Amino acid sequence: MKTIVVLGSTGSIGRSTLDVIRRRPREFKVAGLSACTNARLLEQQADEFGVDITALRSPAGSVPGQRRVITGETAAADIVAMTRPDIVVNGISGAAGFLPSLQAVRQGSVLALANKESLVIGGAFLTQEARRHRATLIPVDSEHSAVFQCLAGERPEEVSRIFLTASGGPFRTRPKETFPDITPEEALSHPTWSMGKRITIDSATMMNKGLEIIEAYWLFGVDLSRIQVVVHPQSIVHSMVEFRDMSIKAQLGVPDMRSAIAYALSWPSRMELDLKPLDPAAMKKLEFFPPDEDKFPALELARASMEQPRTLPCVMNAADETAVDGFLKRRIRFDGIIDIVRKTMDKLAGSRVSSPEDLIELDRESRKIAGNMIP
């Protein structure tokens, strides 16, 4: 039986992970759970899965219980260190997921990574530590899970290109000149996926694809120029890999994160899941379009950030998180998100880091600069 810690257990990835585990009680034992502020749901989950220790980032959200509760900013990393599980599922949203990911690979746990920011912020450090401690890193993002599956049994040197698919979000066909009028409610209405607020807004700006380009670079060791984004509104093809003989592998499935999560938990095997099957006969069409980088400049920003791969992606992510929060609170316009990100990157270009601790400080400084641009 494998022991598992689920970080961000009250979020969409965490709840989907627990649903997969719920279906396989003889194969997995939940050793720990962490959340940000949703203490009541965390307590309910701990009761159901018989968890003795939980972690809560915000002590203010704590509720009385019979188990030990770790609190504070390092609570998620602390619970990983204390329980030393076989698998850590990191479903935390944002930069807060970086240090728990680092802790997981340093102790040799399998890291099932849904927190793309871990690699965006500190890909150089995280992959280095994973190699040093022989830790396995398995992507849970549907796009990177698809690439991971397409690469099974293949030689890295035979990969020609990686295609990351994007739904295009809710504004794929909306005229650019109307972007200043977009409301948070419109941006949170994703056409195919059910996700947390930040990633849903990032899908609307296509910043999520920018982050995923960086994530793919660190995960698969493919040159940035060979990682491409293609808009696929049906969200059936989750990603594709082209090889040097010009053949292409694609991974298809219904848009349900439980499939990618189950693959990460059972790898290198596959577990049976009673999910809705994909019916090829019902697929009327599969469309693919190049992204409109004039309307969605986040893709260009992400590539530009990799000119300083140890620092600028961290700045970009922190500024984006801050700006998205400002938009959701109606303090800036939708088109102001990318503007703030770009200006923050310009201010901090040339920054240097030599340790993960330096990255955390750079993240704080980036948030402060971006925050000062929000009324």
Residue 117 in contact with residue 98, Cβ under 8 Å?
yes
pLDDT digits (tens, 9 = 90+) for 30-68: 999 999 999 999 999 999 999 999 999 987 655 556 678
The residue from 113, 139, 165 where one domain ends is 139
CA gap 19, 271 in Å, rounded:
13
Calculate mean pLDDT across residues 209-216.
Answer: 97
Residue 229 lies in a domain: no
Q: Does the pLDDT at position 204 exceed 80?
A: yes
pLDDT of residue 99: 96
* Domain span including residue 326: 307-375
Residue 89 lies in a domain: yes
Strand-strand pairing, 2-7 and 87-90: parallel
The residue from 139, 158, 193 where one domain ends is 139
Strand-strand pairing, 159-166 and 237-243: antiparallel
How many CB atoms sit inside 10 A of residue 92's CB?
A: 27
The domain that holds 362 is classified in CATH as 1.10.1740.10
Q: Does the pLDDT at position 187 exceed 70?
A: yes
The domain that holds 99 is classified in CATH as 3.40.50.720
**Bridge partner residues of 251 (DSSP):** 239
pLDDT digits (tens, 9 = 90+) for 279-333: 888 888 999 999 999 999 999 999 999 999 999 999 999 999 999 999 999 999 9
Residue 95 lies in a domain: yes
Residue 117 lies in a domain: yes
Residue 345 lies in a domain: yes
pLDDT of residue 199: 86
Tally the domains of the chain. Answer: 2
Residue 317 lies in a domain: yes
pLDDT of residue 255: 87
Rounding to the nearest 10 degrees, give the CA dihedral for residues 259, 279, 197, 100: 10
Both ends of the chain: CA-CA distance in Å?
52
For CA atoms 197, 328, 207, 88, the dihedral sign is negative
CA gap 196, 187 in Å, rounded:
12
The residue from 139, 163, 182 where one domain ends is 139
- In the structure, what pLDDT confidence band is assigned to residue 238 with cuts at 50, 70 and 90? very high
Residue 19 lies in a domain: yes
pLDDT digits (tens, 9 = 90+) for 255-267: 899 999 999 999 9
What's the whole-number average pLDDT of the chain? 94
Phi, psi for residue 194 in degrees, rounded to 5? -110, 115
Structure tokens at 374: 């929000």
Structure tokens at 58: 């915000």
Residue 362 lies in a domain: yes
| C-alpha atoms less than 13 angstroms from C-alpha of 67 in its C-beta half-sphere | 23
pLDDT of residue 21: 97
pLDDT digits (tens, 9 = 90+) for 129-174: 999 999 999 999 999 999 999 999 999 999 999 999 999 889 999 9
